[in-house]
Amino acid sequence: MTAIMDYEIFKQKVKIKVGLDLGSYKEQQMRRRINQLMQRYNISAYAEFLELLDKDPSILKHFTDYLTINTSQFFRDPAVYQALETELLPNVLKKGEPVKIWSAGCSIGAEPYSIAILLQEKAPGGNWRIMATDFDLSILAKAKAGIYPDNTLSNVPQRFRQRHFTEQDGNFILDERTKSLIQFKQQNLLTDRFEPNCDIILCRNVFIYFTVETQDALITRFTQSLKPDGYFIIGCSEMISDPARFRLRKVRPAIYQKIS
């Protein structure tokens, strides 16, 4: 059997076993990553790797964690958070209506928690809620635990560090109040329902891994989930070409607004 056919079968089995359609992810990049992981287990054939995934739940978990690339940080790309603090959040809050923010592909929770930190200062007790979703259940458990290594906090302004984190054994523990402000939920962006009526959606450093067709389909669905004038924020190394075809206009680097 050729390696390409092997990979086709591997994709089908992974879809059944893990619930992720690898066909929606950039193939070259995904295959390179999977091959690297197989090498670590000293395996060269996909069929053999599938057998191992069947036999050993800890390797299956390692494989799922590895596929979903969880790198994240609080206040990642400070210019984006500066724009949120000074422009986007004030704009959505001043409408005087309930505000809904969705962090899609939230990983360890650093992204939704950063927004909760800003909102507690801007609109304490205000009528806002933050939803945070990810496919990976084990990363959602980490997000809910709220315990972080120092390197995830390097962009956190000093005043927020002091107010919201306690250092313990070299880690930083987020305060219970901030933790209680996020509703975490497992969700597969490729198959599950989207949150409707959002004021701001962040889907950052998630769709760089998807094929262009999947990215376009997701952007269409994200735009449908935004209220008129709502904001859509992507990662700083991502881009939307010709945003008008999705009824979006670019307002800042990585920040788009729905054309109403």
Residues that bind ligand SAM (CB under 6 A): 68-72, 76, 105-107, 111, 134-136, 139, 187-190, 204-206, 235
With respect to ligand SAM, which residue has the nearer C-beta, 114 or 223? Answer: 114
For residue 191, the tally of other CB atoms under 10 A from its CB is 11
- From the CB of 215, what's the least distance to ligand SAM, in Å? 12
3 state DSSP class of 149 = strand
3 state DSSP class of 79 = helix
CA angle 79/81/83 to nearest 5° reads 70
With respect to ligand SAM, which residue has the nearer C-beta, 43 or 194? Answer: 194
With respect to ligand SAM, which residue has the nearer C-beta, 206 or 226? Answer: 206
H or E, element range at 222 = helix 212-225
- From the CB of 48, what's the least distance to ligand SAM, in Å? 25
- From the CB of 96, what's the least distance to ligand SAM, in Å? 29
- From the CB of 236, what's the least distance to ligand SAM, in Å? 9
With respect to ligand SAM, which residue has the nearer C-beta, 29 or 44? Answer: 29
